[in-house]
Structure 1
Amino acid sequence: MKVARQPSVRTSLGHTDHPYMTGAWTPQHEEVDAEDLVVLEGAIPPDLDGVYLRNTENPVHEPLGRYHPFDGDGIVHQIDFQGGRARYRNRFIRTRGFEAEQEAGQSLWGGLADGPGVSLRPGFGAHGGLKDSASTDIVVHAGEAIATFYQCGEAYRLDPLTLETLGPAAWAPIDGVSAHAKVDPATGELLFFNYSKHAPYLHYGVVDRSGRRTLYQPVPLPGPRLPHDMAFSANWAIFNDLPVFWDAGLLERGIHAVRLHKGVPSRFALVPRGGGEPHWFEAAPTYVLHFLNAYEDGDEVVVDGYFQENPTPRPLADAPEQYAHLMAYLDEHSFRPKLHRWRFNLATGETVEQRLDERVLEFGMFNQAYAGKPYRYAYSTTAKPGWFLFDGFVKHDLVTGESWSLKLPEGRYASEAPFAARPGAVDEDDGWLVSFIIDETAGTSECLIVDARTMEAVCRVALPHKISSGTHAVWAGRGELRG
């Protein structure tokens, strides 16, 4: 393995026992380029051709207040497969906030868990007091990687091969862009949304395959809400108004406290893809962090996602007291997301719901060629109880109801595992899942390639350093990198 190291970033972090700044969440600040990666087991499929990009949170400076793992600066880690070989690189996303703190040599913004008055400069996004770190999500559209922030930020463009930061997207509106913009491979469009604390509280936008914004319209809500994801079908963009949002009384005092508003249903808006009035549907109260896919079935629009049974859990009983609340909201076994299906009937206005699995599952992926279309296979992650760490995968056949699991050994934790289709494949599940693995026992990281048909590991590739855990990832085939 040949490794070239980049100049060090400026950091002021000291020793800490914070559970999300240690272990698998230990910040990683080294930027490298590595070629001829070592294959630890198996062989890289010779027709696996493209890049896997994973966005992670890596705090660079000592926090001004109480650190939340979603406050960290974005680093994108990339592994590039071509001709049976692999190379790796990683880079910080050079956001305005990152560059300002590099110049100052310290943190300038507080975080998600802090109250008003902590930040030293005005903040970004729906929350208003945060740094836009572009560290939540990443997609590839029009030949560029787009890194986004969950509280709505500027949408930072990166070269998906070199990882050079190209600056904020020119099409991003003043209220920003939320994480989980969606790319429709059938049209080449990118669909996005944002949310804010001022009316109309939610907007929907479309960017065409050339990178030009073609639509930006309000989707009015009753007040400030906290949508995290959206879905789309061939003709509809699907948004949500869920009963888990900021307490209005505390918000007037500048305190961003989330609670479940009992007696308030979930609502879903189906908006025509090309713009227009939303069709609203009510459903059982819940919070949905992530949706899988959506498609049309006659008069019905079918949406699959992860229904939280307990979206505002009690503090984690066996966690250190000062971290118990934070850790519960990061622990899937506390808020209990379950694979779920909603059917919205446009003819009758009725909603029918169906539980697809009773296991705690989240962070689902599927073959993106079927985005917005009827599909058969879904791939979810399982999580370590008490932690925001993935310890395995579950494949579902949504037609037969069958499922298959892959469980990682103790101390090994995965990242979100997008589907990489085999070139020329006919079957929907003919391809691979690609994931980065953190091995806490060995103190190393690697890339794992899984056969998506059998859910068996086919290859392990060593990375040049141990990386930090994070949130979202994307696979882009070679053709997508050319836009």
Structure 2
Amino acid sequence: MADDAAVARRISTGELTGLNTLNPYLQGLYEPVAVETTALELKVIGEIPKDLHGSFVRNGPNPHEAPEGMHHWFDGDGMVHAVYFENGKAEYRNRYVGTDDYRAEMAGLDIGAGGVLRPSAKSRPDSKRGELVYKDTANTDLVFHNGSLMALWYISGKPVRVNARTLETLGNETFGGALPRHVSAHGKVDPRTGEFCFFDYSLTEPWMTYGVVDRNNVLTNFQRVDLPGPRLPHDMGLTENYVVLHDLPVVFTEGGLRNHMWQIKVADQPARFGVAPKHGTGDQIKWFETDTCYIYHVANAWEDGDEVVMTACMMTPNGFPPNPEYGPYASMVNVLALNAVPVEWRMNMVTGEVRKRQLDDRIGEFPVINLDYTGARSRWSYHVSMAHEELQRFDGLLKYDLGTGQAQEYKFAEGLGGSEPAFAPRIGATSEDDGYVIVFATAPDGTSEVQVLNAQDFDKGPIARIPLPARVPAGFHGTWAPGDQIAA
């Protein structure tokens, strides 16, 4: 795609009209950027280690036009920001994800899709979108598999392949035409086998599915799991032999289903985790009931004797009442004020017992690990710490010891907003935390930088800071793509 202002129209507070002048998630730290940028010669404050080789990439919402109707932060077009490291140097790029819906709108077509705060496509009798009732943005996560990235969407959409260095959109991924339906955002790659394991769900039907794609991009298993009703899961766990699916008590209201609106509630029912054999059938799933809760993001899962262990961030009340200053966006702002703590669940596959242990009471989210340890016992997890503010702002990073719950802390400079980090193993690494933690940070004046921390000297702060030529708005998830595995 061209690197000029014609790619996107500038969205600024001055262009916002109507109720969107009250929408804080289109302004300040969250304001979308206007153009796609490439910068191959970046200034470095400090020194980039020469044993750091690969791409740090992060996804997030970035509307290509100023919204005219009610707009939820989650509805923006996917845009990926990336810094590629090699031989002590760095390159920066940002690109839109070329989903079918993005390309259609850029061609001037009405895609007929709704948004989280607007009626879905199902409210239009002439809609031909099927289960894609909202705009498919691929704006949520990035998974590195088979030499390139897949940009994924949290409501389950079409995976979009993206070059991990250039960010060029390569096209929709169907796994050789074998993908039966869609893929939700938080799939996992098993580093031992190269398999991509994913889940999918329906907004209105009582089932989930999970699937396995091998290292050569061949779909080898796809299973349906029946549920008591429609569910809205967000993540999953993966171990060597199992997937861990989430049946959580956040569901659509009857009015939401009837009116085709994103209206949800917390139902009076326990949370359930379903442990299913990765290469088995859906009816072999074993369910474990636990306290009512919601989970956005899993840190890791593994097998320990008879137990399947999962560590994740468990949501707790944020304590903020809806603020009338935001008008009709007060409820959105309130829900987006994440408040979660790290929790470990142990599920005994023999006795059916489940044990829960809260690791810490500090508020944090967006956990990441050394991806070489996905599905295996791991010690370290890196989380963002949350500023105690109404708007979602990451004010620092936490390095957790998942055994003891103790954490080292690094805080950004005053007012900066960070993003989900990624762990990059050092070339020739000899231990789990032998490498670097990389993160984007944006200041109130709109300047952005990427920071590189030595994971084994975490609380000392960055060993390198790289000012960027473009602002990086607050966004969602990122990952690390090893340089020697990025396909040419």
Higher share of residues assigned helix: 2
1:125-174, Cα deviation, whole Å (9 max, x unpaired): 86x43110111111110011100111111100111122111111022735
Q: Distance in 1 between matches of 2:276 and 2:254?
A: 27
Q: Are the counterparts in 2 of residues 35 and 88 from structure 1 also a CA contact under 8 Å? A: yes
- Within the alignment, does 1:188 sit opposite 2:191 as a pair? no
Aligned mate of 1:469, from 450, 470, 474: 474
Q: CA deviation at 1:82?
A: 0.2
1:86-130, Cα deviation, whole Å (9 max, x unpaired): 01111111111111111117785331111357879848686x431
Q: Distance in 2 between matches of 1:437 and 1:230?
A: 28
Q: Aligned runs of 1:12-51 on 2, under 5 Å?
A: 14-15=15-16, 17=21, 18-39=23-44, 41-51=45-55
Q: Distance in 2 between matches of 1:10 and 1:107?
A: 18
Q: CA deviation at 1:480?
A: 2.4
- Within the alignment, does 1:8 sit opposite 2:6 as a pair? yes
Match of 1:345 in 2: 348
How many residues matched?
A: 472
Q: Distance in 2 between matches of 1:231 and 1:408?
A: 30
Match of 2:401 in 1: 397
Match of 2:233 in 1: 227
Q: Distance in 2 between matches of 1:105 and 1:11?
A: 17
Match of 1:460 in 2: 465
Aligned mate of 1:157, from 156, 161, 164: 161
Aligned mate of 2:368, from 365, 369, 382: 365
Distance 1:83-1:236 versus aligned 2 partners, 3 A rule: same
Match of 1:78 in 2: 82
Q: Are the counterparts in 1 of residues 116 and 261 from structure 2 also a CA contact under 8 Å? A: no
1:346-395, Cα deviation, whole Å (9 max, x unpaired): 11001100000111111001111111111111111112221122110111
Match of 1:295 in 2: 302
Q: Are the counterparts in 2 of residues 180 and 230 from structure 1 also a CA contact under 8 Å? A: yes
1:440-468, Cα deviation, whole Å (9 max, x unpaired): 13x21111111111212111001111122
Aligned mate of 2:382, from 379, 383, 387: 379
Q: Distance in 2 between matches of 1:294 and 1:146?
A: 22
Q: CA deviation at 1:65?
A: 2.6
Q: Distance in 2 between matches of 1:290 and 1:234?
A: 19
- Within the alignment, does 1:271 sit opposite 2:269 as a pair? no
1:34-90, Cα deviation, whole Å (9 max, x unpaired): 111011x21111110000111121111233531011100011111100000001111
- Within the alignment, does 1:240 sit opposite 2:246 as a pair? yes
Q: Distance in 1 between matches of 2:300 and 2:424?
A: 17
- Within the alignment, does 1:307 sit opposite 2:314 as a pair? yes
Of the structure 1 ranges 416-425 and 199-208, higher mean CA displacement relative to structure 2 is found in 199-208
Distance 1:135-1:227 versus aligned 2 partners, 3 A rule: same
What SS is found at the alignment partner of 1:454?
helix
Unaligned runs of 5+ in 1: none
What SS is found at the alignment partner of 1:112?
coil
Instruction: Tell me the amino acid that sits aligned with residue 259 of structure 2.
Output: R
What SS is found at the alignment partner of 1:193?
strand
Q: Are the counterparts in 1 of residues 99 and 138 from structure 2 also a CA contact under 8 Å? A: yes
Distance 1:168-1:396 versus aligned 2 partners, 3 A rule: same
Match of 1:256 in 2: 262
Q: Are the counterparts in 1 of residues 363 and 385 from structure 2 also a CA contact under 8 Å? A: yes
Q: CA deviation at 1:248?
A: 3.2
Q: Are the counterparts in 2 of residues 159 and 165 from structure 1 also a CA contact under 8 Å? A: yes
Unaligned runs of 5+ in 2: none
Instruction: Tell me the amino acid that sits aligned with residue 476 of structure 2.
Output: T
Distance 1:315-1:46 versus aligned 2 partners, 3 A rule: same
Q: Distance in 1 between matches of 2:110 and 2:34?
A: 15
Aligned mate of 2:208, from 184, 202, 212: 202
Higher share of residues assigned strand: 1
- Within the alignment, does 1:331 sit opposite 2:329 as a pair? no
Instruction: Tell me the amino acid that sits aligned with residue 338 of structure 1.
Output: V
Distance 1:107-1:328 versus aligned 2 partners, 3 A rule: farther
Of the structure 1 ranges 280-289 and 242-251, higher mean CA displacement relative to structure 2 is found in 242-251
Q: Distance in 2 between matches of 1:213 and 1:78?
A: 29
Q: Are the counterparts in 2 of residues 268 and 281 from structure 1 also a CA contact under 8 Å? A: yes
Match of 1:435 in 2: 439
Q: Distance in 1 between matches of 2:129 and 2:266?
A: 25
Distance 1:355-1:29 versus aligned 2 partners, 3 A rule: same
Q: Distance in 2 between matches of 1:143 and 1:474?
A: 13
What SS is found at the alignment partner of 2:24?
coil
Q: Are the counterparts in 2 of residues 246 and 256 from structure 1 also a CA contact under 8 Å? A: yes
Give the TM-score normalised by structure 1: 0.93
Give the RMSD, CA atoms, in angstroms: 2.2
Distance 1:452-1:10 versus aligned 2 partners, 3 A rule: closer
Q: Are the counterparts in 2 of residues 295 and 372 from structure 1 also a CA contact under 8 Å? A: yes
